[in-house]
Structure 1
Amino acid sequence: MNQTKVDKLLLKLVENRLSEKESEELIAWLKSKEHQDYFREFVEINHLLNSEQYFGNAERLLDKMEPSRKRFSPSALLKYAAVLLVLISSTLFFKNDIFPTEDSKVPAPVIHNNRIQPGVNAAVLTLGDGKEVALGKGADYSTEILNAKEDRIVYAPKQDKASRMEYNYLSVPRGGQFSLLLSDSTKVWLNSESKLKYPVEFVAGQRREVYLLYGEAYFEVTSSTKNNGDDFKVYHKDQEIQVLGTQFNIKAYGDEPEVLTTLVEGKVAVRNGERSLEIAPGEQSRLNLDTGAIEVSEVDVFAEISWKSGVFSFKKKRLEEIMRTLARWYDMEVIFENKSLKDKRFKGVLRKNQSIEDILSVIMSSSLRSYEINDKTVTLK
């Protein structure tokens, strides 16, 4: 079983989505000492996802094992994982591996009128006639073709296929997230500060096309065989993604120097002008917006897509990049008073529902710096 498949199964374990067959695959994989070490590290780093839920998931996986198999080390490891998750009391796990902490006191933060809150389910739907509808908690909206609830829009396929394209736009603000089910049953998750243009109904016999105008989106695309052979493409400015598989993530923010496309399952082809590259599961294409060059490399898939599961996972990321991500989710401004902090690298996992003070205290204590919060502005010192 390749590493991408393993990471996918571990993520499903966290989300309580493992099938009977997948549980057996994971149990078989865990017989190896090397794999047990990897699992142990995964548990220790990602325990913040949800301790109570993870404990239950691990127990359910144990229950699926035959009694004779429960003597093997995988069960002991799973029990270790479940107990570990319950015993760990810290609310954050974050490490500065490149710049170790020194033995000195951390300056106390300065807080003035902190108005920074974690993001929520929120979006604005723009209909074909230009009408705008605010979506989110307590803002249900329905028409003949769509049904919008607290965190999701569902488009119902029509019996009579459309003869022309009618587009809707879904805009997710800073400090928001939302998802939608397109008329072909393709699932899309939109991260903070993102905007998607898409057809209300796809036209039979024509390519299925959507446009990520900016931001970040995760796609689970229904196969062309279930849609009369019609291809699926995602466009963003100069980049075109032809979907040959099903699950992938696109990160295309205006304040980022690159467009990142990460493949989870299947296969996609990324095109920029005349150049086209195919990427495989576990790989990521990086389109340089200045030069137009495309590079492909292997990545930690979980770290790239964890945002849709309620956490931010960082693997030796620069603090400047981390703070850009947090700024979108918490709808805040970040000022680096100490410019040298930008290039420090960290790894760890942050829950998206944590208070900004908890997050900043842990990050800053690991680099011996203080911070200040003034209204919705964070200054790193």
Structure 2
Amino acid sequence: MQEREIIKYLTEKSSKSEQKKMEDWITASQENAKIFNEQKALYVAATFDNTVQEIDIEEGYIKFTKAIKPKPKYYKYAVAASIILMVGLTIFLNRDEDTSQFQDSIIVNNQIQTGTDKAILTLENGEEVTLIKGNSFQTPHATSNGKEITYNNNTSLELVYNYLTVPRGGKFHLTLSDSTEVWLNSESQLKYPVSFTDGNSRQVELVYGEAYFDVSSSTNHKGADFKVFHNKQEVEVLGTEFNIKAYKDETNIYTTLVEGKVVINAANKSKVLSPTEQANLDITSNSISITTVNVYNEISWKDDVFSFNEKSLKEIMVSLSRWYDMEVVFENKSLEEIKFVGVLRKHQSIEEILTYIMSSSINNYEIHDKTIILK
């Protein structure tokens, strides 16, 4: 199959006979399926943005071919995910296309808002500053435009700490004084030095929540390593990218390596992770296991995307509740284990989200203030 035919199929411009021909070709062999998934993922990476728009075949092909050389940094993770994503369209397995089932949904004083860039900065003197999109703030050590905060690139002999706390319904980007970048997810807190001491180990603490780290190489800092502490584990790195998920209300800590190498010290054991591996620390049994995962599904949140791969509705609602700062009640408990595959953009309203993910087995939902009841 030619690239244009695949793009035509992805943008739903194929005729019925062309669709059938493409689907027959995809299912004819594993090699064909692999080729389709890889080209599909590259097309997604090339055209993906945060706006809903119509892309025609020629425009899609131009973006596709431009992306091939060089491939975008996140291409390999999109390939690993192998998720069908078209601009402006979210596809879910188990989705009932007839949304008329929700016409009698009860919505009373809907207070559920889409998350945004916001955080609370606690300074070294204990003062708390609210950082929010549209408001700028500056200290002798850092500057914030309301969407991110950047610390001055300097070192000192004295360790002075700040805290960055991202509430439910928020996210924030932080650049530390050593140029390490950190993305904090909703309901997360990071403790870190205003500046690192020259030549000594660079250490921060993920107090709770989820964070993605892009660590500045030790070669830029006289060999100083970088460590991320949590009360149950220590992650030691030299220069790499990884994600840590350690929420207060969960009994597992997940560390996913994207690039480089890290050593995890936990449960009286040391584990070395390779790219695409995830360490799962069970804090109840004090055991740790290593598995290979689709990296894109684990880190897409930092790019304002929810990527769900065979996740239960209960797990999905936990993630959504943090971003939308809401509560979810399962009136029908059997719904909790229904599984979905798909991608959602985090700027969508909660009504749009519910329309996309509700299957035919769900009769309806209610929204009261900041609570969703699933029936």
TM over 0.5: yes
| In 2: Cα distance, 1:102 partner to 1:350 partner | 16
Q: Tell me the residue number matched to 2:101.
A: 106
Higher mean displacement: 108-117 or 329-338: 108-117
2:204 partner letter: V
Q: Tell me the residue number matched to 2:65.
A: 62
Q: 1:256 aligns with which of 250, 254, 259?
A: 250
| In 2: Cα distance, 1:181 partner to 1:292 partner | 33
Higher normalized contact order (CA 8 Å, seq sep 6+, divided by chain length): 1
Q: Answer yes or no: is 1:312 the counterpart of 2:300.
A: no
* Partners of 1:147 and 1:154 within 8 A in 2: yes
2:118 partner letter: A
* Partners of 2:335 and 2:362 within 8 A in 1: no
Matches within 5 A, 1:1-381: 33-39=32-38, 42=41, 50=50, 52=53, 59-63=62-66, 85=86, 90=89, 92-96=90-94, 106=101, 108-158=104-154, 161-381=155-375
Aligned residue for 2:101, secondary structure, equals coil
| In 1: Cα distance, 2:156 partner to 2:325 partner | 39
% identical equivalent positions: 49
Structure 1 residues 311-349: Cα deviation after superposition (integer angstroms, max 9, x where no partner): 100000111111000000000011111111111111100
Aligned residue for 1:95, secondary structure, equals coil
Deviation, 1:150, is: 2.1
| In 2: Cα distance, 1:250 partner to 1:102 partner | 36
Aligned residue for 1:106, secondary structure, equals helix
Structure 2 CA distance for partners of 1:64 and 1:334, relative to 1, 3 Å: closer
Deviation, 1:211, is: 0.3
Deviation, 1:257, is: 2.1
| In 2: Cα distance, 1:49 partner to 1:349 partner | 13
| In 1: Cα distance, 2:99 partner to 2:372 partner | 23
Deviation, 1:289, is: 1.4
Structure 2 CA distance for partners of 1:197 and 1:34, relative to 1, 3 Å: same
Aligned residue for 2:208, secondary structure, equals strand
Structure 2 CA distance for partners of 1:360 and 1:45, relative to 1, 3 Å: farther
Structure 1 residues 54-81: Cα deviation after superposition (integer angstroms, max 9, x where no partner): 8868624525779xxxxxxxxxxxxxxx
Higher mean displacement: 203-212 or 52-61: 52-61
* Partners of 2:147 and 2:172 within 8 A in 1: yes
| In 2: Cα distance, 1:214 partner to 1:175 partner | 15
| In 1: Cα distance, 2:330 partner to 2:182 partner | 34
* Partners of 2:93 and 2:341 within 8 A in 1: yes
* Partners of 1:260 and 1:286 within 8 A in 2: yes
* Partners of 2:313 and 2:339 within 8 A in 1: yes
Normalising by structure 2, we get a TM-score of: 0.80
| Count of aligned pairs | 325
Normalising by structure 1, we get a TM-score of: 0.79
Q: Tell me the residue number matched to 1:75.
A: none
Deviation, 1:39, is: 2.8
Stretches of structure 2 lacking an aligned partner (at least 5 in a row): 1-30, 70-84
| In 1: Cα distance, 2:359 partner to 2:49 partner | 22
Structure 2 CA distance for partners of 1:250 and 1:366, relative to 1, 3 Å: farther
Structure 1 residues 83-118: Cα deviation after superposition (integer angstroms, max 9, x where no partner): x946xx64x32223xxx8699973532111111111
Higher mean displacement: 248-257 or 107-116: 107-116
Structure 2 CA distance for partners of 1:235 and 1:218, relative to 1, 3 Å: same
| In 2: Cα distance, 1:53 partner to 1:149 partner | 32
| In 2: Cα distance, 1:212 partner to 1:310 partner | 21
Aligned residue for 2:62, secondary structure, equals helix
Aligned residue for 1:153, secondary structure, equals strand
